[in-house]
Structure 1
Amino acid sequence: MTSEQDSPAPPVRVGVIGLGAIGQSLLKAFAAHPEVQVTAVCDVDASRTDTTARPLGASAWTDHRQMLGAADLDLVYVAVPPQHHHAIALDVLSAGRHILCEKPLALTLSEAQDMQRAAQGAGVVHALNLPLHGDPGIETFRRLIEEGRLGTVRRAEVTLVFPQWPRGWQHNPWIGGRAQGGPIREVGPHLLHVLLTTLGPVTRVWAHAQYPADDPAACETAALGTLELADGSVVVVSCLTNVPRPEEVSLTVYGSGGTAGLVNWASPVAAWGQGPLEAVPIEGPGGPAGERLVRALVNRVRGEPGDLADFTVGVRIQAVLEAWERSSALGTWVDVAQA
């Protein structure tokens, strides 16, 4: 006879709000985890919701409030466009559910802070979907910095180049809009997270953005800026879209004794003295980012250890993004609110 202690834990019941390209991608990771049951899905497009729900055996909803009121859920993944994060997340938290939210956390710093306070007050697990968090390539790069082999950090550079924006797989029109989208808002959080957790807080920002003259609703086509860190060193950010070049997402840190960086998002490279940049062997277990995130979420929901980027991280990133946008609008240096 099986004892109660030997009985398997019940599955973590997950609801997903927002079934666009990003939501569908992580939904697959949830569905593939043996200890997760995708119980409910929600999207304003009823046909998309029905099509997604049927093979999962999940209930289908077009109103997230009705879903939260009727479905038995442990965790809710909010994968809607950024302008809806705040309102929907507060509904999820009011219902007492653990929450995973897409990045950026919100449209404004005040909204992000509201979400952080509500999550802490609810006493639930709260996490931001940052696929580079815990990536073994990022962790290898971080160790290069922390070991001190670079010497004194003098400057860092972030380069973002996209041959087209939105990218071919991004079918949501808002990603190309000025109100919610653009490469700085969409891609910036990934590398800002790496910078903040590796080099320390950003204290002030100077930024300039270029927009299409014939479309006031379109997002930036180019941007240039400087992030000043707490130790006085700076990060130069260069962003360019719609140019006949391969996509490039890279970070380079120059020190007095060497150079370390990330190419192709998360592949670590390093050079010592005047030698060339060379690939650095990646340490630690690999695996898809979605699988890593879902595993950590399941552990945390069950009260076990799990490495997540929480809403506090989201607020710190949001503070830099807001300072960037204000600086671009004002043409001056802008201080970053410290969370």
Structure 2
Amino acid sequence: MTNSVRVGVIGLGAIGLNLLRAFAANAEVQVTAVCDVDAALVETTARPFAASAWTDHRRMLDEVDLDLVYVAVPPRHHHAIALDVIAAGRHILCEKPLALTLSEAQDMQRAAQEMGVVHALNLPLHGDSGIETFHRLVQNGGLGALRRAELNLVFPQWPRGWQQNPWIGGREQGGPIREVGPHLLHVILSTLGPVARVWAHTEYPANDPDACEMAALGTLELANGLLVVVSCLTNVPRPEQVSLTVYGSTGTAGLVNWATPVAALGQAPLESVPVERAQEAAGTRLVRALVERVRGTASESDLVDFTMGVRIQAVLEAWEGSSFAGTWVDVVQA
């Protein structure tokens, strides 16, 4: 098959525009249509690609021949727009988190499976060579019996400087746990196993009922009994930190700066671990996998599908439920 994969993009915020460029850089992709509620932005964005410009995604789906649609709108719009995309029989890539609620995420998963379309979630750490190295360090038994894991999220500013928009700092859709959490939850679920229950405490600004969390502390209890302690802190005079550490009886492995693997045996200091293959830009890797899946030439493992999206959403919902109730909350298993 030599025809280009025709792609439509719905949502032209910072993340949507970034991945749009990755689509455009792939010689086997044609950016065919773009859609956003901002008419001027749509026109400006569409012009270099000779793409059609739309402010109504339903009209775009009705009037443009597309193979794949990327949904990059804020989370509370994922459910309705994704169901429209799936009902139109288009393959779909969706931003994370998959939806605003677990029930919405389950709807999207069920619809995509019933329609038989390719369904994927944009989690750039998937397939990263540093993450793969970390996974092997944990899984090969060299750490001994696993004792504990720690996830630390520190942000000197939230929202981050490049991420200023009306919703990312809001309690309904935004916040670091919902925005950054899915990336690391995917690593935890894929490397350490399913989460059985959650305990969480969340701190919100006292003078703004609509603002997202400024701090959070909690524990994920995995189905195998391992505990993952989660600490999140924003707006402190420290550099950004996104790290995951797994402690074993004979060694330790971790990720620093999101995806750099480190390890140590015994009481030795943690040191960087060489990755086994060259790093590749996440967008490039994702777009290639999408093209191959749409054409039926790649395995399902090359993408994060909506099933993992539902599993992540179940943990997020349990976290929010525990924060409200002040008790352990069981995670619904997908």
- TM-score of the superposed pair, with normalisation by structure 2: 0.99
Q: What CA distance in whole angstroms lies between the structure 2 residues aligned with 1:11 and 1:79?
A: 21
Q: Is 1:246–2:239 an aligned residue pair?
A: yes
What does residue 313 of structure 1 align with?
308
Letter of the structure 2 residue corresponding to residue 213 of structure 1: A
Q: What CA distance in whole angstroms lies between the structure 1 residues aligned with 2:277 and 2:331?
A: 34
Q: What CA distance in whole angstroms lies between the structure 1 residues aligned with 2:226 and 2:306?
A: 26
What does residue 160 of structure 2 align with?
167
What does residue 3 of structure 1 align with?
none
Tell me the SS of whatever aligns to 2:243.
strand
What does residue 107 of structure 1 align with?
100
What does residue 287 of structure 1 align with?
280
Render the CA deviation track for 1:186-214: whole Å, top value 9, x for unaligned: 00000000000000000000001000001
Shift of 1:28: 0.3
CA RMSD of aligned residues (A): 0.6
What does residue 325 of structure 1 align with?
320
Work out which of the residue numbers 193, 197, 202 in structure 1 matches 2:190. 197
Letter of the structure 2 residue corresponding to residue 14 of structure 1: V
Render the CA deviation track for 1:262-295: whole Å, top value 9, x for unaligned: 0000000001001000000011232100000000
Judge conservation of contact 1:270–1:279 (CA < 8 Å) in 2.
yes
Q: Is 1:262–2:255 an aligned residue pair?
A: yes
Q: What CA distance in whole angstroms lies between the structure 1 residues aligned with 2:278 and 2:141?
A: 24
Tell me the SS of whatever aligns to 2:199.
strand
Work out which of the residue numbers 283, 289, 296 in structure 1 matches 2:289. 296
Q: What CA distance in whole angstroms lies between the structure 2 residues aligned with 1:137 and 1:203?
A: 27
Judge conservation of contact 1:141–1:268 (CA < 8 Å) in 2.
yes
Q: What CA distance in whole angstroms lies between the structure 1 residues aligned with 2:13 and 2:148?
A: 38
Q: Is 1:183–2:180 an aligned residue pair?
A: no
Render the CA deviation track for 1:113-149: whole Å, top value 9, x for unaligned: 0000000001010000000001000000000011100
Judge conservation of contact 1:16–1:78 (CA < 8 Å) in 2.
yes
Letter of the structure 2 residue corresponding to residue 186 of structure 1: E
Shift of 1:171: 2.0
Render the CA deviation track for 1:79-117: whole Å, top value 9, x for unaligned: 000000000000000000000000000000000000000
Judge conservation of contact 1:253–1:259 (CA < 8 Å) in 2.
yes
How many residues matched?
332
Tell me the SS of whatever aligns to 2:298.
coil
Tell me the SS of whatever aligns to 2:254.
strand
Render the CA deviation track for 1:37-94: whole Å, top value 9, x for unaligned: 0000000000000000001100000000000000110000000000000000000000
Q: Is 1:120–2:113 an aligned residue pair?
A: yes
Gaps spanning 5+ residues in structure 2: where?
Answer: none
Q: What CA distance in whole angstroms lies between the structure 2 residues aligned with 1:67 and 1:86?
A: 17
Q: What CA distance in whole angstroms lies between the structure 2 residues aligned with 1:152 and 1:321?
A: 27
Letter of the structure 2 residue corresponding to residue 263 of structure 1: V
Tell me the SS of whatever aligns to 1:208.
strand
Percent of aligned pairs with the same amino acid: 79
What does residue 39 of structure 1 align with?
32
Map 1:205-244; keep pairs closer than 5 Å: 205-244=198-237
- TM-score of the superposed pair, with normalisation by structure 1: 0.97
Gaps spanning 5+ residues in structure 1: where?
Answer: 1-7
Q: What CA distance in whole angstroms lies between the structure 1 residues aligned with 2:226 and 2:61?
A: 46
Shift of 1:172: 1.4
What does residue 330 of structure 2 align with?
335
